[in-house]
Every structure is written in C-alpha cells, then in structure tokens.
C-alpha cells in the first residue's frame, strides 16, 4: 500500500560531501523524501529521529577497509529497511548484502533516479533492482540449487508478484497458512543447500539466480 506520509530516511556515510549530495537528491525528489538524520557511522540510525526513519541508506565502508556487513545484519535483523549505497561494484558484495537482508544495492555510479526509486520502494517494504544489481543477479549461477516442487515454484512466483500471502492464497485457491507453509519449506530447502534466504529480497535473489523467475516477470 502506498505510504500516506512522506518517506523519511537516515543517511549513514563517512563522507560529508556524499551525505550532502544524497540529501539534496532526496529533498528534490517527486515527492520529496525527508532526511530525518545523517552521520558518519551507524549509531545515527539507532538514536534520535534516525531510529524511526523509514529507510536506512547505508554506505558499506565507514572509515575503514572492512565492509559494514555486521552493521547491515544488525539493522535488517531489527526489521530496518536498508538500501546499501556503496563504491563497491563487484557482484559478490552486492549478492552478500541481499543475503543479509538489504532491499537494494546501488553503486555510487548510479544516479539520483535509481536512489530515489530504491528508497521509495524500500519504504514500502519491497526490493528494487537497479541495473548493476540486475547484472549481479543474472551472472550468479550457483550449482547448489534446491529442488522445488511444481506447487512450491508456483507459490513462490505468485508471492513475488503479490503484496501479501492472503492475495497469493486467493489466486491459487489455498489458505494463507498453506502459502506460508510452502514458503517455509522453500526456505528450508535453500538453507539445507547452504544458501540461506531469510528475507523476501534474499529469496527473490535466489529465484533469479536459479532461473525460476526473470526480472521481466515481476
């Protein structure tokens, strides 16, 4: 459901010029996006107005060579909606961030339009796929693919195209409980194959990697 109030964000980036540039892009968007807080480390996302912002825009390198994947995990496990905005353009890093629960991964080579779209989409709890991420997903062809039943595949694709499990159940003539059971079985199969998919975004990444669904189908 579309948000009735302006989307708010907290920007976490150790470069002041980047924070200022992103804030300007967001405030000039249509509709404008409010920057509730910004700072050079992730503490700004846990305190003050940053703690309740709809979306966290997170740089992956905060003053050091080690990616902030631990911080990303803590944010997503707390239910925060995160868009990673990073200098790194390698596919492995992008896919790792999706696995950790980020709703989108953008490189800083991608412009304002993609960042605005990713932020608005994340505020609605949905994943956004910019061009660089599409390349990463299309290029990953893991050999450890679980075997899904025809019904599981059907439920999975319907879920990607729907807003809720209730709607999926109506489309397929089954109860929301049964939809949830199929999705849990799919997650277990992925976990048993060594490819965790704890969030909807991560499960979508797996499905695209395995050729179960194409970006054009969404």
Give CA–CA dist 55/103, Å, rounded.
Answer: 10
Phi/psi region, residue 161 (left: phi>0; alpha: psi -120 to 50; beta: rest), is alpha
Domain ranges, ordered by start, for the chain = 8-130, 150-210
By the 8 A CB rule, do 171 and 151 touch? Answer: no
pLDDT per residue as tens digits for the range 173-208: 888 888 887 888 788 778 777 788 888 888 888 888
pLDDT of 102-135, one tens digit each? 888 898 888 899 999 999 988 987 778 787 766 6
Q: Which tens digits make up the pLDDT trace of 126-166?
A: 778 787 766 666 555 555 678 777 788 888 888 888 878 89
Element housing 112 (H / E) = helix 112-123
User: Could you give the angle at the alpha carbon of 37 between the alpha carbons of 90 and 59, nearest 5°?
Assistant: 10
Overall average pLDDT of the 48-72 stretch: 90
Half-sphere exposure of 151 (CA within 13 A, CB side): 11
Domain at 8-130, CATH homologous superfamily: Response regulator (3.40.50.2300)
């Amino acid at each position: 459901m579309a948000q009735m109030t302006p989307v708010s964000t907290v920007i976490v980036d150790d470069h002041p010029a980047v924070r200022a540039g992103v804030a300007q892009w967001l405030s000039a968007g249509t509709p404008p996006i409010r920057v509730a807080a910004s700072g050079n480390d992730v503490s700004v996302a846990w305190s003050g107005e940053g703690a309740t912002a709809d979306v966290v825009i997170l740089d992956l390198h905060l003053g050091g060579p080690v990616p902030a994947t631990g911080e990303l995990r803590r944010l997503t496990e707390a239910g925060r909606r995160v868009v990673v905005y990073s200098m790194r353009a390698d596919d492995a890093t992008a896919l790792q961030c999706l696995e950790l629960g980020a709703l989108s991964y953008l490189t800083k080579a991608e412009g304002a339009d993609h960042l605005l779209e990713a932020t608005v989409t994340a505020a609605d709890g949905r994943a956004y796929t910019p061009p660089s991420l599409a390349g990463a997903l299309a290029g990953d062809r893991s050999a450890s693919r679980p075997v899904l039943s025809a019904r599981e595949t059907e439920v999975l694709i319907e879920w990607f195209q729907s807003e809720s499990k209730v709607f999926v159940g109506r489309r397929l003539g089954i109860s929301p409980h049964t939809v949830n059971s199929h999705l849990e079985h799919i997650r277990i199969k992925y976990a048993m194959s060594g490819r965790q998919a704890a969030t909807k975004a991560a499960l979508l990444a797996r499905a695209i990697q395995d050729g179960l669904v194409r970006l054009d189908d969404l």
